[in-house]
Amino acid sequence: MNDNIIQRIRKNVEICPDKLALEVESYSINYFELWGKSSKIAELLRSFNVFQQNVGILAYRSLSTYTGILGALISGNTYLPFNPKFPNERIYKMIKSANARAFIVGKEFVPILNLLENEINEKLLFFAPEIKKKDLPLLKSKIICSEDFENIKSNDKISAVGFEDIAYLIFTSGTTGEPKGIPISHKNLINFIDMNQKNYPLSINDRCSQAFPTTFDCSVQDIFATWNAGSCLVCVPESDLFAPARFINEKNLTVWYSVPSVAMFMKRMNILKDNIFPSLRYSLFCGEALNEHIAVSWQKAAPNSLVVNLYGPAENTIAITNYTWKKELNNSVNGIVPLGKVYPTHDFLIVDDNLNPVGNNEPGELLISGPQVSSGYLNDDILTLKKFIRLEQKGDKVWYRTGDLVQEDEDDDLHFLGRMDHQVKIRGYRVELEEVEKVVREASGRDFAVALSYPFHNPVAESIVVVLEDCKFNATNIISFCKTILPDYMIPKDIIAIPFIPLNNNGKIDKNKIISMLKENHGN
């Protein structure tokens, strides 16, 4: 582990400068051009003394997204990705929490620059490498447009960063109602990249999908596993994400990586036909439970491909276990493909409620320790101490409590059994139900709101419903309010009235009783 990811990419620029590095929108650029554009951004960031800061990427599925990410890293900064689908309120919270003052801007975010500037109420720095001055609004902040970039020369300079410096900052749902920042260091990242390259080697001939939103940490694997190997990153346009079959074939992709839901949608729409994806050699799935019937269908659709289930919380840098699915192994539990084995670079424990290791093959919470484990949460020492723990009998090692209930089988493969808390996954996104409840309480003025994943008791959640007492509320207004605060995957599908909120013997809200009441009154 002598080089960080930027030095690796720089080497590829020397080895294969003419090789395609990125296809996005109508652009196809090689490694030399990618570095050239990114190093100009880096040079401008340096010229404004932006170093070891959180640089916001206000760009999405456009050229500036990728050159901005690389430029931020070349100049020794941390990149912080944003999604234009997020409500402005959430974007402001993330910016304030990360104290970001410099931003790479793509055309996707131009409409909110004025609002953002007013909300932050400080002088900001906007770098818009692909936008002409005439297409930008009048701002109080400093803005560097495409004309300014023309005068900058690209160069080979890489600002010094240590392995403990932060490469990216990703936000997920938080139980307190505020998005939670997870800083991932260069050490975390390069350890993951090396493990990934060892397990599923990429070559300069590979063409890898970039389907995940950049606010989803699996996008980091898309981008950097690809550029680490000198492969070509192919950005999937928003319009094709829903059912990308045609895109995979037209672009001759060799690697597909997405949440299993994408495969499920294609199967349901009768698109997932046998041998429809002959070019694929790796099909990677991550972010939510992979149903066996989806794995079976995908394997038939991509007969030349390995079908791989990856698992890992964002706090453990993208993925920490892998399982290459094979039908003949018949190793699924409850129809869910195993998580597989923890990477050999890491230690793991399966523990009971008292943090004592469980007996052989007994279920318990998964704890992880090793070089991919983040240092903790941004600005939240209390939560960090709760989730990143030390165990008396294990010395100085830090263990991350995943909150995932798992079981190890006779072949040492882990199986996912459920969550220990109220976190659910919607299309791969982590959702803390408490965060949804908080916003609904605020919107409805009620003391109690109970968020439930739907379908009830299904290991793969599709949406969220919220239950309120009595029926004197306007569900449309509550959902409209939620849309101003929460990203689309967290917005409740429905607000349902029940006569009373039942409590169990411990005085806690009895969710099972609520589900029974709903099934009685509304069916499944």
Partner 1 sequence: MATNDELKQFVINKIVKKSTQQGLKLDTIEDNFSLTGSGLFDSMDFLNLINEVESSFKLVVDFSDAAPEEFTTLGGFIMNCK
Task: Give residues in contact with partner 1 (CB under 8 A).
Answer: 239-240, 242-246, 261, 265, 268-271, 273, 276, 427, 462-463, 476-477, 479-480, 488, 493
Strands 232-235 and 207-210: parallel
CA distance 220 to 197: 14
- Closest contact distance (angstroms) between CB of 246 and partner 1 is 6
Q: Which is nearest to 154 in space by CA: 77, 43, 4, 31?
A: 43
Taking a C-beta distance cutoff of 8 angstroms, is the pair 226, 254 a contact? no
Closer residue to partner 1 in complex, CB, 271/515: 271
As separate numbers, helices (DSSP H) first and strands (DSSP E) second, the chain gives: 16, 26
* CB nearer partner 1, residue 167 or residue 259: 259
Query: Which CB sits closer to partner 1, 139 or 245?
Result: 245
Judged by CB, which is closer to partner 1: 161, or 485?
Answer: 485
* Alpha-helical runs (H) found in 16-141: 31-47, 63-74, 88-98, 113-120
Report residue 98: phi and psi, to 5°: -90, -5
- Is 200 in contact with 217 (CB distance < 8 Å)? no
For residues 34 and 479, which CB has a smaller minimum distance to partner 1 in the complex? 479
| Nearer CB in complex with partner 1: 131/443 | 443
Phi and psi at 236, nearest 5°, equal -85, 120
Question: Closest distance between partner 1 and the C-beta of residue 242, in Å?
Answer: 5
Q: Which of 232, 239, 186 is nearest to 210 (CA)?
A: 232
Cβ proximity to partner 1, 27 vs 489, nearer residue:
489
Least spacing, CB of residue 264 vs partner 1, in Å = 8
Side-chain-side CA neighbours of residue 84 (13 Å): 16
Shortest approach of partner 1 to residue 459 CB, angstroms? 16
Find the shortest distance in angstroms from Cβ 241 to partner 1: 8
Least distance (Å) from partner 1 to the CB of residue 413?
30
Is the CB of 167 or the CB of 467 nearer to partner 1? 467
Is the Cβ–Cβ distance between 288 and 282 less than 8 Å?
A: no
Note whether 412 and 422 are within 8 A (CB): no
Q: Write down the least CB distance from residue 215 to partner 1, Å.
A: 17
Q: Which residue's structure tokens are 């059912």? A: 243
Least Å distance, CB 129 to partner 1, is: 28
Please list, in sequence order, all residues whose beta carbon lies within 8 angstroms of the beta carbon of residue 463, skipping any fewer than 6 positions away: 426, 453, 454, 492, 493
